Structure 1
Amino acid sequence: MDKQIGDGAGRAEIAGTANVLVPAGGLSPACAPELVAEVEAARTYRLRARSANTLRAYASDWSQFQGWCWGRGLEPIPALPEVVATYLAALARAGRADSTVTRHLAAITWQHRREGLPPPSARDTHQLIADTLSGIRREQRARPTRKKAAIGAKDLAGMIAKVDGLGTRAVRDRAILALGLAAALRRSELVALQLADIQLVDQGLTVRVGHSKTDQEGEGATIAVPAGKVLHPVAHLNAWLTVRGGAPGPLFTRVGTRGEFTLEAMSDRSVARLVKSYAKMQGLDPETIAGHSLRAGFLTEAARTRASLAKMQEVSRHKSLKVLMGYVRSAEQFDDHAGAGFI
């Protein structure tokens, strides 16, 4: 519940703040403004513990949980463990991936803590939530999964060629496609890029990725992108910068139907739709393509051309080599095949 500190001009509401020490006799008016500022700083730091994309996803997931509860006459907060376990099962029945189900649970936990309430899992003495989630994961592991296909350099060059014209949207889309593969960027990373994250250098350009899925603390990484002989990411990006201008803000902005744009960031879903659209023009099956296909394309091509794991990891920023080895094994599965001499 919310606590109130001070009175008059020094009054502040503190939502979800635990372990705030207030003297038994009350807080003196002289101390109130300082404590208010410190509480606000603590709130700001808590929000920064999650990326902007994560917070947007949590807000959407929480809204869906609320709607599901209200539609069934159930209370979303404080939510009973039985209610949460049933909701997770409903998501799984609707075909949601276990990773999505897990994120919905994280959103519910986040909202409870934000409201200063213990999360449902902390009150789940019978482990209903944990067991339900475990069962969902076990069932989904038993199902055959179809991974999204990687887009190779040749196909991507074809896709870029099919982006017709010199209009604002066309120039932007070519730059997104080329840079997305050349820097092995996730779609969330593409839309999070700011103009200040790009530096043109003699050999090409550098991209500063300030926050990513595997870098929750925001340490950041700088990726080198060569000028290129096939995809020409620097040339395409320069063309977009000429249209976009030098105003600070998102690197890739939304573009209207008439080519007009403001300095408003694209959504990661719009990147996925963009990639699927041009993949279809190239003759690829859009059902097998996703925003991740650009990043997967870089790794697949790097493995095919015998790039070292260290150099691949430099660009992809994977924390573990296990995932990278999967791309290498896929590219090399027919090399020196054990049956090549007799099959």
Structure 2
Amino acid sequence: MNLSLLAPATALQPSTLNDVTRSAMQDLLREGESQNTLASYRAALRYWAAWYGLRYGGQIQLPLPVACVLQFVVDHAQRMTAKGLQSELPREIDEALVAGGYKGKIGPMAHTTLVHRISVMSKAHQMRAVPNPCHDAQVRELLSRTRKAYAKRGDLPRKKAALTKDPLQALLETCDDSLRGKRDRALLLFAWASGGRRRSEVASASLQSLRRIGPAEFVYTLAHSKTNQSGRDQPENQKPVLGQAGAALQVWLDASGITEGLIFRRILKGGHLGGAMSGAGVRTIVQARCALAGIEGDFSAHSLRSGFVTEAGRQNVPLADTMALTGHQSIPTVMGYFRAESVILNQGARLLDE
């Protein structure tokens, strides 16, 4: 091929990117990111822009000064004073942020939320290849000391309660023979018994990835997950849906008439089949069934995942087998569930008992 025949207008410069390439890059970056992550990033950046506008009376621009990030931290982190816990966000600005829908309620945000907001702003600077104030030594030290201050006060993140075997059975007993009841029973068992699926994995579960291996027995291929975002083909992608879970899934598919697309759908008024569910919809099902069963506690969709891991620890399922189903890659994370349960079974706690 004669390279000299290429028109000059089509030749690119190797050291720069044109607008078309930059746009294509952004499309790929967005498509490769999870929807939940994108939504959390957008919410965090909207909050930053609203806070900046109210605090400084102008439009936010990157890079931010280091002083601005330090101000964001002290505005939102509580510190102990002679008058008790205080933060520096003015009341009128706090009320305006709530009124504008940027905050859920008046008062300081949780420490985990603060850290997430800083991380998102750091990512925004990184993506734009501009100086990153979040990496400044003052910011890093302030965040480190803030975390320690919260820990000293016992203000630690609270994990959602685990739905182990017995409370899960109580939830299942609330599922009647209506279309909604059949869906909820199949959904709860699918999420729990296949290894504690995340709510996004349940909402996006597709018949295309479901393979029948026997009467009311299936294997679900989880090709994409939080710990396998590149879609690597590996044995751990295969998740069994057997026993009660397989039977409930078969009942749901027969009753709903679903033959392609998403496995779990919304149920409309009148008991009619609707469209796609959201991850929040999975959480709502868990919480609604907990209320019907009279189970008290702070439960969410993640309770199915933590409940599966906790129950596996109770029943002495080998750690490797548990992790193969859950998809966890961190042994300390899984062991945290095991140890939280085993502490009450520790014989050393009963040395004074006969």
TM-score in terms of structure 2 length: 0.75
> 1:299 corresponds to which letter in structure 2?
V
Matched, 1:76 2:60: yes
Residue pair 1:77, 1:112 contacting (<8 A) in 2 also: no
Q: CA distance change for structure 1 residues 226 and 195 in 2, over 3 Å: closer, same or farther?
A: closer
The separation in 2 between residues aligned to 1:97 and 1:188, in whole angstroms, is: 23
Report what 1:28 is aligned to. Answer: 8
Q: CA distance change for structure 1 residues 208 and 136 in 2, over 3 Å: closer, same or farther?
A: farther
Unaligned runs of 5+ in 1: 1-26
Report what 1:46 is aligned to. Answer: 29
Unaligned runs of 5+ in 2: 1-6, 79-106
Report what 2:226 is aligned to. Answer: 213
The number of residues matched between the two structures is 306
The separation in 1 between residues aligned to 2:176 and 2:311, in whole angstroms, is: 26
Q: CA deviation at 1:77?
A: 2.1
The separation in 2 between residues aligned to 1:148 and 1:30, in whole angstroms, is: 56
The separation in 2 between residues aligned to 1:170 and 1:119, in whole angstroms, is: 54
TM-score in terms of structure 1 length: 0.77
Q: CA deviation at 1:159?
A: 0.8
The separation in 1 between residues aligned to 2:188 and 2:221, in whole angstroms, is: 18
Deviations 1:259-311 (A, max 9, x none): 344443x222222222112112222214x212211111111111111111111
Report what 2:239 is aligned to. Answer: 224
- Secondary structure of the equivalent of 1:99? helix
Report what 2:122 is aligned to. Answer: 109
> 1:205 corresponds to which letter in structure 2?
F
Equivalent residues in 2 for 1:214-293 (5 A)? 214-219=227-232, 221-228=236-243, 232-242=244-254, 243=256, 245-248=258-261, 250-264=262-276, 266-286=277-297, 288-293=298-303
Equivalent residues in 2 for 1:1-343 (5 A)? 28-31=8-11, 38-72=21-55, 73-78=57-62, 79-93=64-78, 94-113=107-126, 116=128, 118=130, 120-121=132-133, 125=136, 127-142=137-152, 143-145=154-156, 146-167=158-179, 169-183=180-194, 184-202=196-214, 204-219=217-232, 221-228=236-243, 232-242=244-254, 243=256, 245-248=258-261, 250-264=262-276, 266-286=277-297, 288-335=298-345, 337-338=347-348, 340=350, 342-343=352-353
Alignment RMSD: 3.0
Residue pair 2:174, 2:293 contacting (<8 A) in 1 also: yes
Q: CA deviation at 1:244?
A: 5.3
Q: CA deviation at 1:81?
A: 2.8
> 2:308 corresponds to which letter in structure 1?
F
The separation in 2 between residues aligned to 1:91 and 1:198, in whole angstroms, is: 46
Counting aligned pairs with the same residue, the percent is: 24
- Secondary structure of the equivalent of 1:150? coil
> 2:320 corresponds to which letter in structure 1?
A
Report what 1:16 is aligned to. Answer: none
- Secondary structure of the equivalent of 1:241? helix
> 1:30 corresponds to which letter in structure 2?
T
